[in-house]
Structure 1
Amino acid sequence: MLVGYVRVSKADGSQTLAPQRDAMAAAGVEPDRIYEDLASGRRDDRPGLAACLKALQPGNTLVLWKLDRLGRDLRHLVNTVDELRTRGVGLKVIAGAGAQIDTTTANGRLAFGIFAAFAEFERELISERTNAGLAAARARGRMGGRPRKMDRATLMMAMAAMADREAKATEVARRLGLTTTTLYVYVNGDGTPKAAGQALLDAPAAVRPRQLQVAG
């Protein structure tokens, strides 16, 4: 079964879903199997995408007008495509840079497999960076004792560690010498920075010490 997903970034009427819906119809997607969002691709809260991914079953194929309709960034795109593959869900991209992806063809399956390789590479890279960072932290005596406050280097290690789906916040916090509360002040469960974390990342070097006032 073909399931479509369409999206435009603006809900003010200046952009229309009609061209994408027409492309879906031409690809054989039934109108009642098309999910839609009127939101920027960078937003996490896209109810249409969430419903679409939930509805997909093994053997289904997700149809996109362009690949950028799906992912909010490269990491999100790679991980989402890899998740579809592991669930037994196919992918077909109609136009744009990803139009070579069509799991009903041999070349399309090859392109689909490349995403799996990228996802595995990213997981290994994150693991290597995290282990190296934690080893450096231990060497500097950051294990045990009074919980430390957040700084930019620790934040970046925390983000890399939390991006691993199997990471446990309590263990990440313990290894970095933080409390779990402090960790979650700065980092979301998927490794993306919260407002306080983004402020710390964006702050000039001379200002960063002021960002460390959140109690551990």
Structure 2
Amino acid sequence: MLIGYARPYSSDPHCEEQFKLLTNMNCDKIIRDDHFTSNQGKNLKNMMNSLSPGDTIIVVKLFAFADSIRHLAKLLNAIEDKGAKFLSLKEDIDTSKNIKGSFKDIIYRIVEFESDIISEKTKKGLSEAKQKGSIPGRPRVPDENVNRAIEMYQSKEYSLSEIKNETGISKTTLYRYLEKKQ
């Protein structure tokens, strides 16, 4: 049996793209979790518990299946122990065949997976911060300090280090505001 597995992530929050690709792979059934983190996915656990020998789990990308390299290794071991197979479309990983590619290629796929993990966690953190009303990025400099720094600069009586010491405005920030005024 071909079993597709999908879960939301930032670039496919409703799993639409994953469903399209898994349908094209002629999956007998597609299982979806609603959680952004696979460790919380009860459908993933149920799928893993009900695997039979000869089944193949298909995912669009590794990040849709696991949250870390350790978690991925645990899931792949469980699949192998049950006599099932695993296929990840994006990374071109198919456990029913001999490993395709050089050691360098394998490491590149692992690095790409790790990059997806970091990217998803960053996007999730930014989203949560915005929901709480926090504005990400550097805090804005109070306008009075900027105006004072511009006045000091234009008077040509102060050096850049004196302006920075007096107002707290760096040279780069000062020049950025001067460009906006022109």
TM-score, normalised with respect to structure 1? 0.43
Q: Answer whether contact 2:5 2:31 (CA < 8 A) is retained.
A: yes
Q: SS of the counterpart of 1:83?
A: helix
Corresponding residue number in structure 2 for 1:101: 93
Deviation at 1:59, TM superposition (A): 0.8
Deviations 1:55-113 (A, max 9, x none): 21111000011011111221111111122112211001111xxx2311343335x99xx
Letter in 1 for 2:8: V
Would the alpha carbon gap of residues 107 and 9 (structure 1) be closer, same or farther in structure 2, given more than 3 Å must change?
A: closer
Deviation at 1:54, TM superposition (A): 1.8
Corresponding residue number in structure 2 for 1:7: 7
RMSD after superposition = 3.0
Structure showing greater Rg? 2
Q: How does 1:187-206 map to 2 (within 5 A)?
A: none
Give structure 2 stretches of 5+ with no counterpart. 107-182
Deviations 1:102-133 (A, max 9, x none): 1343335x99xx8xxxxxxxxxxxxxxxxxxx
Higher relative contact order (CA 8 A, sep 6+): 2
Q: SS of the counterpart of 1:51?
A: helix
Q: Answer whether contact 2:9 2:64 (CA < 8 A) is retained.
A: no
Q: Distance in 2 between matches of 1:45 and 1:82?
A: 19
Q: How does 1:166-181 map to 2 (within 5 A)?
A: none
Would the alpha carbon gap of residues 44 and 104 (structure 1) be closer, same or farther in structure 2, given more than 3 Å must change?
A: closer
Deviations 1:156-185 (A, max 9, x none): xxxxxxxxxxxxxxxxxxxxxxxxxxxxxx
Runs of 4+ in 1 over 2 A off after TM superposition: 103-108
2:83 to 75, 85, 88: 88
1:79 to 68, 71, 74: 74
Corresponding residue number in structure 2 for 1:181: none
Corresponding residue number in structure 1 for 2:65: 70
TM-score, normalised with respect to structure 2? 0.50
When the two structures are aligned, how many residues end up with a matched partner?
A: 105
Give structure 1 stretches of 5+ with no counterpart. 115-216
Letter in 2 for 1:53: M
Q: Distance in 2 between matches of 1:107 and 1:15?
A: 31
